[in-house]
Structure 1
Amino acid sequence: IDLTARELALGGSRAVLVEFTRGGLPRGATAELRRLSRSGLTPVLAHPERYFGCTLDAVREWRKIGVVIQTDASMLMGRGAPSELAREMLAAGVIDVLASDNHGDARSLASAREWLEAHGADEQVALLTHTNAECVLHDEDPIPVPPLRAGLLDRLKRFFRR
């Protein structure tokens, strides 16, 4: 699909939102993301933690080819395999942007943001919720988000297993 039309870009930038079906990663997903990146676009992959078959290694590979990783903040607060992957991605520092995935409902970044700030992840929160989104919309590379400090991921997991 030709995604080069300016009206398809995010905020007039070179960034385009890419979303796969929940059924799983399509065959050739990495090749297509690479094609988009090589064409001068910045693929912003929406909530990879939801895609059946997605792994931390795949996310790392996509980031190397210029894909911006956008994770649904509510997944950090949830249960199940997608939420576990989202937390692993956060701990590993491979998420570039947090989103609310709000479709006119009450979902927001507030709970995830407040929890992370309360546990000393202020630098990560600023990058994930503001700075990197701004970078993407200005056609700049997102700033790498430092991995969570030791122990914070364990506290996050315990908190959401209650």
Structure 2
Amino acid sequence: MKMYPEFQDITRKTEIGGLTKLELIRKLRQQSISLNEYAEILLSNDKFTTSKTKYNLKTVELTIRNLGFPGGATMPQIIKRAEELGLDLCPLEVGPHIRLNYLDQPEGSTRNLSRGQAPSGSITIATEKISEDDDFPRGFYLRKISGVLWLRGYIADDLHVWKTEDRFIFCQRKDC
């Protein structure tokens, strides 16, 4: 049974933790996962930490439209609505772990690619930002282009309007 029956959601159970930062990066390389410069900045930042103990986390993937925004929404609006639905922001380390576990992501498109917009077929991991600097990467997104799996970092301020078809992953609140 779907938790959000009015939405087309995708739920995943992912094992998080149990790896050091270096081990996690090594696993990404072993799987031939490409990183952009922003992802490397996030992974090398002291605020990017990993859990020493393994735990299972259930995530929910929804579009902005599924969250109730037919005209798009800003990050503060998206977060507020997700919280109302019993969803939480993910720890930053969730991005690399989901990338390692989601190796069969469908191919994205390079058509109609606009600077400042989420690429077609990408999935953004909803996380707390680790810096108030709008020029510092906010978080990760997953993408597959020309057969290559990517873990990419992105920059977006709180005024950026996400499109209705943009996809986000949130953590399901444990008490739901």
* TM-score (normalised: structure 1): 0.27
* TM-score (normalised: structure 2): 0.26
Structure (1/2) with the larger helix percentage: 1
Q: Which has the higher contact order (CA 8 A, sep 6+)?
A: 2
Structure (1/2) with the larger strand percentage: 2
